[in-house]
Amino acid sequence: MRLFNYDGGVMRSISKFTDCITLSLLFLVSCLPIFTIGTAMAATYHTAYKVLRYDRGYVFRDYIESFRENFKQTTLVWLIALALGLLLGTDGVIIGFYARKGSIPAALGIVFLVGMTVWFLWISYLFPYMARFENTKKQSMKNAILFAIIHFPMTILMFALAVGVAFIMYYFPFLIVMLPAIYSWLQSFILEWVFRKYMTDEERKQEDERNC
């Protein structure tokens, strides 16, 4: 029966299922050394876009290649982003401590939440962008925040996606073996819509030919 052929529906579904697990596990293992998280995010996005979405290549091979190619460029950027995130996190702890004592307005907690949200959305653009395009570290960081502002509706959509995935993971934590890959795959539909606007006609044409 064609249903059980390699290109049949059942086999393709099984293949996608195992690819999602493999990619998610690669991401989780790569995140264990904290300084490689940014590179892991870039490699996961690259692989989800190329392999999960368009069936070009192989999960393990493409992930390792992307991780190796992006390591030098993304590591320093991630350490800068991590430092900013830790600074915001420290501020949040301090604000929470004094807010409970009534020393400062609890409304400052909202400022902290907004800051952490902006930080998260910034890195959500940043590392996929670095996986897809060659640019300087400074320009990549700048472009990521500009994308988040200029394409605000898409940014809100991506935030909603992240909240939805976090909600699912909270109630079904065992799905952590699949959700990182699924999140990156869904994220690619949002981000590629943004990225295509900044490609030349020739670049878009080449991209479409590769994905056919």
**What is the domain count for the chain?**
1
How do residues 67-111 score in pLDDT, each as one tens digit? 999 999 999 999 999 999 999 888 777 777 666 665 555 667 777
pTM of the full predicted structure?
0.90
Task: Give the single-character DSSP code of 52.
Answer: I
pLDDT at 181 over 60: yes
d(CA 113, CA 88): 9
Q: Which residue has the tokens 């991630």?
A: 78
Domain extent, residue 18, equals 2-211
pLDDT of residue 90: 83
Q: Which pLDDT does position 15 carry in this prediction?
A: 86
Question: Is residue 1 predicted with pLDDT exceeding 80?
Answer: no
- Taking the CA atoms of residue 153, residue 156, residue 160 and residue 163 in that order, the dihedral angle to the nearest 10 degrees is 170
| pLDDT, tens digit (0-9, with 9 covering 90-100), for 20-58 | 999 999 999 999 999 999 999 999 999 999 999 998 999
Angle between helices 59-100 and 137-150 (to 10 degrees): 70
**Whose structure tokens read 């293949």?**
15
Per-residue pLDDT tens digits for 136-178: 999 999 999 999 999 999 999 999 999 999 999 999 999 999 9
User: Given this model, what pLDDT does residue 100 score?
Assistant: 65
List b or e across 52-65, with b for residues whose CB sees 16 or more CB atoms inside 10 angstroms: bbeeeeebeebbee
Amino acid type, 139: Q
Which pLDDT value is given to residue 94?
74
What confidence tier does 13 reach under pLDDT thresholds 50, 70, 90?
confident
